[in-house]
Structure 1
Amino acid sequence: MKGKVVFIGGGPGDPELLTIKASKVLKNADVIIYAGSLVNRDVLGCAKAEADIYNSASMNLDEIVELMRRETEKGRVVARVHTGDPSIYGAIGEQIERLKKMEIPFEIIPGVSSLFATAAALEAELTLPEVSQTVIITRPEGRTPKPSSEAISKLAEHNATMCIFLGVHMIKEVAEDLKTHYPPKTPVAVVQKASWPDEKVVKGTLENIASRVKESGIEKTAIIVVGNVLGTSHITPSKLYDSGFTHEYRKGTD
């Protein structure tokens, strides 16, 4: 009888941000494969002592999938742990494609994205009324290509809140691309290892963020957030809690 593979969102780093459902799977998994270059090893603290644990940082796709096949054929449960939420830059699509072809059962447990841990670190709401109601999640082009229509300089046309993964090592180029449409004084923040004990936050504007990040020593494992939601001095209250606003659950005063 085949076992199954469970893809787990390991959260941004703080073990307490692991979901209850993911924790239950980790406690009972026979095999754990975790992305060791990004996942905090402490997240695996709830694993049973006899579980076989593999760090996928040194493995390629073929090796990972073969391990899944071999272990599930034995009827074992394999927990595949990705950082944050696996649906965002988690590289699960290629693994799922292989599992489907081999008819290996799998499920996905969502996790807390590092994006939301970043917003928490900045004490920010990413969707403020009358400032920005759109969040763009993207990354700069590197060794992984992206459609030309999704170039950061083109996405910047919207002037929405933009959250950029995997780009802090080229922060100078990213800032220049953003300045194609965002004003130079637009606030920017960079958060490294959000929710970890050694979390680091750097704030600035598109004019100076590159130099400030360089001075901080941040070179990887960070998210760039740009937009006026970070710098507004007055927040327009939402309609949801406006005393004069009537909705399904409350009669307003107006």
Structure 2
Amino acid sequence: MSTTRHPIIFCGAGPGDPDLITVKGMRALQSADLVLYAGSLVPEAVLTWAPETARRISSAGMNLDQIVAAMADAFLDGQQVVRLHTGDPSLYGAIREQMVMLEKKKIPYRVIPGVTAAFAAAAALGIEYTVPEKTQTLILTRMAGRTPVPESENLASLARHGASLVIYLSTGLIESVSGILSDAYDPEAPCALAYRVSHPEEKIVRTQVGKLATEARDAGINRLAVIMVGPALAQPSAEETLRSKLYDEKFAHGYRPH
């Protein structure tokens, strides 16, 4: 058993394109002895950053105890462990429960953030979630399903804000999502469905809220997609585009006084 110890690294793999991992994440993979990755979501293309000698274990069929045991055993053996999560690990990554168990074992860890699907989808659509004078708020959420959400955060309540809204892990409930969003935004409000964004099989569907379920069905999308709605999805003409104060020649600030 080695006396050298390396903190466990929780790393965001990004949305799928191996080039969208951070440089810090790429370097962590390059130094890995064990990559324990969320195999149901992280594409194997991201694993190409790891050396050929690194062990690769998919956690798709493992439970929490097995995952932590695999990390702990490798840690005690002096190996560098990279726990690779899809997107950014802080969002629907279930990392806190792993951290708690590592803390009980007095095993150190650190986290490297990643690009989440909401931002990869915005890039693919060429949109800005924060639209001047329309919305300055982005809400990331999910529908209640087998995994509940607090009642105060139910989708209908959040949608009533009229802000930019990205809904994760809810494509299987898209009929319900469409109905809730129709009440809050309007059945003709623009929305989009981004399936496996940044993957080679990426599909982007622009549609209206009331047609969301039909369009998803026609495109064969029933999982692994984010649903986007809000003012950012509108496509105004160049003349209608609202400008920010940031670059307004009449708006003074510390770097551009009158």
Same fold (TM over 0.5): yes
**SS at 1:179 equivalent:** helix
Matches within 5 A, 1:131-142: 131-142=134-145
Distance (whole Å) between structure 1 residues aligned to residue 129 and residue 230 of structure 2: 9
Superposed displacement of residue 80, structure 1: 0.3
Superposed displacement of residue 186, structure 1: 1.2
User: Is the 8 Å Cα contact of residues 128 and 235 (structure 1) preserved in structure 2?
Assistant: no
Superposed displacement of residue 151, structure 1: 0.7
**SS at 1:236 equivalent:** coil
What residue ranges of structure 1 are gaps of 5+ in the alignment? none
Superposed displacement of residue 4, structure 1: 2.1
What is aligned with 1:246?
252
1:25 and 2:31 are equivalent in the alignment: no
Superposed displacement of residue 232, structure 1: 4.2
Distance (whole Å) between structure 1 residues aligned to residue 172 and residue 191 of structure 2: 15
Q: For residues 183-233 of structure 1, give each alpha carbon's deviation from its aligned partner in whole angstroms, at most 9, with x where no partner exists.
A: 221111000011111110111111111101110000111000011211141
Distance (whole Å) between structure 2 residues aligned to residue 49 and residue 177 of structure 1: 48
Matched residue count: 252
What is aligned with 1:58?
61
RMSD: 1.0
Superposed displacement of residue 74, structure 1: 1.1
User: Is the 8 Å Cα contact of residues 167 and 226 (structure 2) preserved in structure 1?
Assistant: yes
Match among 196, 219, 235 for residue 241 of structure 2: 235
User: Is the 8 Å Cα contact of residues 9 and 83 (structure 1) preserved in structure 2?
Assistant: yes
Distance (whole Å) between structure 1 residues aligned to residue 156 and residue 182 of structure 2: 8
What is aligned with 1:215?
218
Distance (whole Å) between structure 2 residues aligned to residue 248 and residue 177 of structure 1: 44
Letter in 2 for 1:45: T
Distance (whole Å) between structure 2 residues aligned to residue 57 and residue 199 of structure 1: 22
Q: For residues 31-83 of structure 1, give each alpha carbon's deviation from its aligned partner in whole angstroms, at most 9, with x where no partner exists.
A: 10001110111111021111111011111111000001111011111000000
Distance (whole Å) between structure 2 residues aligned to residue 7 and residue 117 of structure 1: 20
User: Is the 8 Å Cα contact of residues 131 and 231 (structure 2) preserved in structure 1?
Assistant: no
Letter in 2 for 1:126: Y
What residue ranges of structure 2 are gaps of 5+ in the alignment? none
Matches within 5 A, 1:35-114: 35-114=38-117
Q: Which one is further off, 18-27 or 231-240?
A: 231-240
What is aligned with 2:178?
175
Distance (whole Å) between structure 2 residues aligned to residue 171 and residue 228 of structure 1: 20
1:224 and 2:209 are equivalent in the alignment: no
User: Is the 8 Å Cα contact of residues 3 and 74 (structure 1) preserved in structure 2?
Assistant: no
1:198 and 2:204 are equivalent in the alignment: no
**Percent of counterpart pairs with the same letter?**
44
Structure-2-length-normalised TM-score: 0.95
1:127 and 2:127 are equivalent in the alignment: no
